[in-house]
Homo-oligomer: A and B are copies of this chain.
Amino acid sequence: MTIQGEMIIGRRVVRGSAGTTRAFNPATRAEMEPAFGLATADDVASACALAEDAFDTYRNLPLEQRARFLETIADRIMDIGPALIERASAESGLPLARLEGERARTCNQLRLFAKVVRDGHFLDATLDSALPQRTPPRADLRMRKIPLGPVAVFGASNFPLAFSVAGGDTASALAAGCPVVVKAHSAHLGTSELVGKAVRQAAEDCGMPDGVFSLLIGEGRVAGQALVAHPAIQAVGFTGSRQGGLALVHTASARKQPIPVYAEMSSINPVFLLPGALAAGGAKLAQGFVDSLTLGVGQFCTNPGLVIGLAGPDLDAFRAAAAEAMGAKGAGTMLTAGIHKAYVDAVGRRTGIDGVALVAQGGSEGAGCAAQAALYACDAATYLASPALDEEIFGPASLLVACRDEAEMLAVAHHLEGQLTATVHATGADRELAAGLLPTLERKAGRVLFNGFPTGVEVSHAMVHGGPFPATSDSRTTSVGATAIDRFLRPVCYQDVPADLLPDALRDDNPLHLARLVDGELRVAK
């Protein structure tokens, strides 16, 4: 499959006529072939109007057909073969093996949501029986969730497959019954075209309505803002910077009809090293920490950007071991020239903060957009007094904070902004301190983990990839895992609706075999 520089508007493959743009190879700093046509305002409007047209048909298809569509997308992505991995690697600087793993993850996400769709648990089917003899009588009340409507998806630079065109937001929105309009990330245009065409083919294979999926190639923020402002769009999924996410939040709330935006933005993912854990294996922890920090050139939302311990010889030993481990790490190519420049600038600013010392660096810069890992250190008083130290540095940089005592460690925990993750390294000897930290950390983060590192986000039922602001714009949700589907649903109550007009999920004979809440009691279908 050759990349043509095209986008997808419903069933049509279209070449945008509002100018051209090109992909960029961050390793060679060279622009890549071919040129991509940019979407006009009409193209954006067409994709949205088609999505609106497709909505009622799509959401009312049998759940089995919706599930097969998700699985077929996975099949068509695999059909692209090595060309997808090679293009994604050239566009992102990410290694082939990582991208093969990411492709598997992408397909697993689609298949997990197919299972979620078949289960029907997401419909939250709830029935309250009529009580005609009661004073006043109670009507027959039945509730289910329905999809919100067409969803705009903005892919992430750092997951060209798993959080892009057919990534988690798209999979969960399609699973919910929402048509999707994706704005391709400029960092991986060719990858986007390949995957977009795979989704288009899957829609055709499965007899989906025209408009269930579109992929727009657009100039920077203009096309994105137009997409979010379009009246047909009813929700937004976004993964990226705090600035980018907030811009979409503002556009969405300024609409005549405001809509929810699920923006996953900014997190520094604190790691607390408790004394027992440091004493038991500080050197091994240091190696694990540096491996996690530099994985994927530090370009993970869950990158450990803050490490907190109690000042003393064990923390000094950890620091020395981390410095040594970091020194052994070579420079890695970052995803884009913009991300590379932002990293170099942010590291430069950090070096200038009073009380913050540069402890270690990785291998020095190579060709292209190569980034050098960096570890800084300061005491807790400095950290607590320096708001700039709460800002995420996207890349392989972290800050080690030394606390005088346990009270100061708790103060650091209390001071944190909202996070995707918070990590505790503890042994049985640390139980009391860990128990003291936990209530604060669960208020600050979407995921609290022990004795591991936060990079690596499992796609499963219990995963939460979310958290209080600024980690996300909506702490009530997750963008990874089965419950990501809940973001695109809302409840509707059906009161005394005639039996032959009831949706299947709410019929007396329960043809979907759903577990349902009936008069307040959970009933599991046979």
Query: Interface of A with B (CB < 8 Å)?
Result: 56, 60, 115, 119, 121, 124, 126-128, 136, 138-139, 141-143, 146, 148-149, 249, 253, 257-258, 260, 417-418, 426, 431, 434-435, 438-439, 442-443, 445-452, 456, 458, 460-464, 466, 468-470, 473-478, 482-483, 489-498, 500-501, 515, 517, 519-520, 522, 524
Contacts and interface: CB of A to CB of B under 8 A. Distances in A.
Given A445-B492, A461-B519, A478-B493, 9 more contacts: A426-B498, A438-B501, A447-B492, A448-B495, A449-B494, A450-B501, A476-B489, A478-B491, A524-B524
A495 to B, nearest CB: 4
A501 B451 CA distance: 13
Given A141-B462, A439-B60, A446 B515 contact: no
Contact of A128 (B461, B493, B500): B461
A450 B115 CA distance: 34
5 closest A-B pairs by beta carbon, nearest first, are A449-B495, A464-B493, A143-B462, A141-B462, A447-B493
Q: Which of A126, A417, A489 has the most chain B CB atoms inside 10 A of its CB?
A: A126
Contact of A56 (B143, B431, B439): B439
Nearest to A468: B257
Per assembly, the copies of the chain total 2
A450 B483 CA distance: 32
Contacts of A474: 260
A233 to B, nearest CB: 13
Contacts of A115: 520
A497 B496 CA distance: 47
A442 B497 CA distance: 12
Q: Which of A139, A431, A469 has the most chain B CB atoms inside 10 A of its CB?
A: A139
A501 B442 CA distance: 12
A31 B85 CA distance: 76
Nearest to A491: B464
Contact of A501 (B257, B431, B443): B431
A443 B491 contact: no
Contacts of A139: 449, 452, 458
B500 A463 contact: no
A98 to B, nearest CB: 13
19 contacts: A56-B439, A121-B522, A124-B483, A128-B458, A128-B463, A136-B456, A141-B463, A142-B462, A438-B497, A446-B493, A449-B494, A449-B496, A449-B497, A450-B495, A450-B498, A452-B495, A466-B490, A478-B493, A483-B491
Given A450-B496, A495-B447, A141 B524 contact: no
Nearest to A112: B520
Nearest to A116: B520
A439 B445 CA distance: 39
